[in-house]
Amino acid sequence: MSKDIQDLRREYTLSQLTRESLLDNPVEQFQLWLKQAIEFGLKDPTAMTVATVDEQGQPSQRIVLLKHVDDNGFVFYTNYSSRKAEELGKNPKISLHFPWHAMERQVKVCGVAEKVSAKESLAYFSSRPKESQLAAWASAQSRPISSRTALMQQFARMKEKFAKGQIPLPDFWGGYRVQFHEIEFWQGGSARLHDRFVYQRRGEEWSIERLMP
């Protein structure tokens, strides 16, 4: 099996990335690539890996969906009692990764996470489908549970509890905004000579450098 794995490879030939093609603002560059990923028909184009670190320095990763991005940061939502939230509470440093394999592209974001306002969390929570709202109430995210049957029973209890009227925002659920200081754009290249450019914040300005693959 190991030999079969080591022989798996392909060439990356879809595109090239040049300094001249990059926009000066990394958020505008990201929004352009995200738009192209959506137009490409990429499945789950907003899916991103979120990496956090615990007190012992052990990294942990999981995939969540990006819900908003602008010059102030990248926003996602989660349970504030989850493992990622507990780790961010002790160490707010965070990294995001967008694996757009079909387009031979990746984007990496480094920054610091902070909670969004309750008003912002409520606005997004209210826009979610009812089933998703109920799931937020039903799941004590990252905590052990005996079976899927037990999870579905908890979901059913929440469905009955909130059968009438609007479902309120849980006090243990909300968003994080990742205020970034570094964004790297990666475009696959032939012979493993990939194109990599990193934006780094220098005061109010952004520097752009090409990195070796």
Q: Which residues are catalytic?
A: 192
12 annotated to bind ligand? yes
105 annotated to bind ligand? no
With the C-alpha atoms ordered 4, 43, 67, 134, is the resulting torsion angle positive or negative? negative
H helices then E strands: how many in the chain?
6, 9
Output phi, psi for 97, to 5 deg.
-140, 125
66 annotated to bind ligand? yes
3 annotated to bind ligand? no
- The one-letter amino acid code at 162 reads F
Task: Tabulate helix, strand, coil % of the chain (nearest 5).
Answer: 35, 35, 35
Tokens of 106: 């990746």
Q: Where are the alpha helices (DSSP H) in the chain?
A: 2-6, 26-40, 83-90, 118-127, 130-138, 148-161
210 annotated to bind ligand? no
181 annotated to bind ligand? no
77 annotated to bind ligand? yes
64 annotated to bind ligand? yes
Residue stretches of the annotated binding site for FMN: 62-67, 77-78, 83-84, 106, 141-142, 186, 196
Residue stretches of the annotated binding site for substrate: 9-12, 67, 124, 128, 132, 192-194
Residue stretches of the annotated binding site: 9-12, 62-67, 77-78, 83-84, 106, 124, 128, 132, 141-142, 186, 192-194, 196
